[in-house]
Structure 1
Amino acid sequence: MRLQDKVAIITGAARGIGQGAAEVFCREGATVIIWDVLEEGEATAQSLTDRGYRASFMPVSTTDVPRIEAAARDVVDRYGRIDILINNAGITRDKTLLKMSYDDWQQVIDVNLSGVFNCTKVVAPYMVEQQYGRIICTSSINGVHGAFGQTNYAAAKAGIIGMVRTWAKELGPKGITANAVAPGYIRTPMTDAMPEEVRKQAVSSIPVRRMGEPSDIAYAYLFLASDEASFVNGHVLAVNGGQAL
């Protein structure tokens, strides 16, 4: 029970990596609040509560600052604190530079980069007040190394690394750590939508010869959220099966 009595907000936890994280965090004793725009978040939270865990769902868009502010206040009013923020929500709008529209660019930047800023900007003051917090943001292997057809996504995920390292310096003295996880190819609805041939090529480039599972990332989140990682700050944890070293 490494997160006993901790209160965790996980964005984009209706499905995929975020859903896997919600399950792991609940099993480790946390109260989990799912922030997502997908109505599936309600069913995800219900399945956790049906198993005796403490979980709830709030419809929240990471691009809607007033809604984020109201939801954060609701969490603090109900539970008294926010210990952990997992900035996991993200989207893709993949196209090569010459085909990418300005709207494709802006949508991904708004959710994947500005959304992380928005949620952290709102939640961090509560953590400062209690002199404790864990901020964990989802970057990507493609934010470190780039990827064909992902100018917008790679830029956002690289920007997350810069923000995390800045927050580590600013918030560390206040009892708050900020870290990032950079997943490789993970089996999610996002990767399921990739053409089969592309998936096969991806797996062939991974030394362990498989895609990651949501639980692989969830356990990385768990470590960084735990007291065992209290001296880990400003780090980018690569979880990619050795695809990029």
Structure 2
Amino acid sequence: MDLKGKTVIVTGSSRGIGEAIAEAYAKRGANIVLNARKPIAEEKVAHLESYGVTVKTLLGDVSDFETAKEIVSQAKELFGSVDVLVNNAGITRDKLIMRMDEEDFDATYQVNLKGTFNMIRHALPLMLKQRAGSIINISSVVGETGNTGQANYAASKAGIIGLTKSVAREAATRGITCNAIAPGFIETEMTDVLSEKIQEQMLTQIPLKRFGKAEEVANTAVFLSENSYITGQTISVNGGMYM
């Protein structure tokens, strides 16, 4: 897909990986719909617009089915099409399973997995009508390996991989691709607050001996959108942490 002039929705795009993904698509000339639950800084919008593209912010919680519908509907009304959907919104509620309560599990599932479903459910009919589209779902290495204290997060991210494969099969006849990206440890605000000791422990698990950069995940998303013969795949961006 030639991304110039296309419309890209990126959920959870106020910071970190989502922000980097939005910028990577803007650099390719795509118009961007930013989504988050809280207002996005005006300077971030202005930065994206400096690439000569149109940027709109549509706030809302994608875990709500009707809110997701409204986000997609407004994007279509603003730009006339929805060509790429990147489902990046996600939360963590880390606890050992013996201490995890129902709300910890449900909240994580609602945003990470159901939020991804909600956005696909409303964007896919538009893409089917267009006979073109690219869906990118952000999973996690934890969805492939599991992790102590992250049963809820791991389950939601593993679910995204299964959802991705199913959507890929259903949408392929209309030329629509659906893929997942499973990042490992990426340099973001969340990893910045970890102690030096914990960061060193993490690095022992990574053959490349460094954390990934948000831009490396973002460039993978763009690559998948530009390649119309890759679908149903989970691309690991993890420095060799899981092979």
TM range, smaller chain? over 0.9
The residue that corresponds to 2:197 in the other structure is: 197
**Cα distance between partner residues in 2 of 1:197 and 1:21:** 29
Where do 5+ consecutive residues of structure 1 fail to align?
Answer: none
Contact 2:161 2:234 in 1 (8 A): yes
Could you list the per-position Cα deviations for residues 9-34 of structure 1 after superposition, in whole angstroms to 9, with x for gaps in the alignment?
A: 00001000000011111011110101
Contact 2:27 2:51 in 1 (8 A): no
The residue that corresponds to 1:49 in the other structure is: 49
The residue that corresponds to 2:21 in the other structure is: 21
Could you list the per-position Cα deviations for residues 156-202 of structure 1 after superposition, in whole angstroms to 9, with x for gaps in the alignment?
A: 00000000001111111121111000000001122223333222211
Contact 1:42 1:56 in 2 (8 A): no
AA aligned to 1:180 is A
Contact 2:69 2:118 in 1 (8 A): no
Contact 1:46 1:56 in 2 (8 A): no
Where do 5+ consecutive residues of structure 2 fail to align?
Answer: none
**Cα distance between partner residues in 1 of 2:102 and 2:194:** 23
The residue that corresponds to 2:230 in the other structure is: 232
User: SS state of the match for residue 203, structure 2?
Assistant: helix
**Cα distance between partner residues in 2 of 1:180 and 1:51:** 26
Sort the Cα spacing of 1:42 and 1:108 in 2 relative to 1 into closer, same or farther, 3 A: farther
Please identify, of 196-205 and 72-81, the stretch whose mean Cα deviation from structure 2 is larger. 196-205
TM value normalised by structure 1: 0.95
User: SS state of the match for residue 40, structure 1?
Assistant: coil
After the TM superposition, list the runs of 4 or more consecutive aligned residues in structure 1 that deviate by more than 4 angstroms: none
User: SS state of the match for residue 59, structure 1?
Assistant: coil
- Quote how far apart the aligned CAs of 1:41 are: 5.3
Percentage of pairs with the same residue: 37
The residue that corresponds to 1:147 in the other structure is: 147
- Quote how far apart the aligned CAs of 1:204 are: 2.3
Number of aligned positions between the proteins: 243
**Cα distance between partner residues in 2 of 1:79 and 1:96:** 44
User: SS state of the match for residue 212, structure 2?
Assistant: coil
**Cα distance between partner residues in 2 of 1:161 and 1:48:** 30
TM value normalised by structure 2: 0.96
User: SS state of the match for residue 163, structure 2?
Assistant: helix
- Quote how far apart the aligned CAs of 1:234 are: 0.3
User: SS state of the match for residue 149, structure 1?
Assistant: coil
**Cα distance between partner residues in 2 of 1:57 and 1:105:** 29
Pair 1:167-2:167 in alignment: yes
**Cα distance between partner residues in 1 of 2:58 and 2:3:** 21
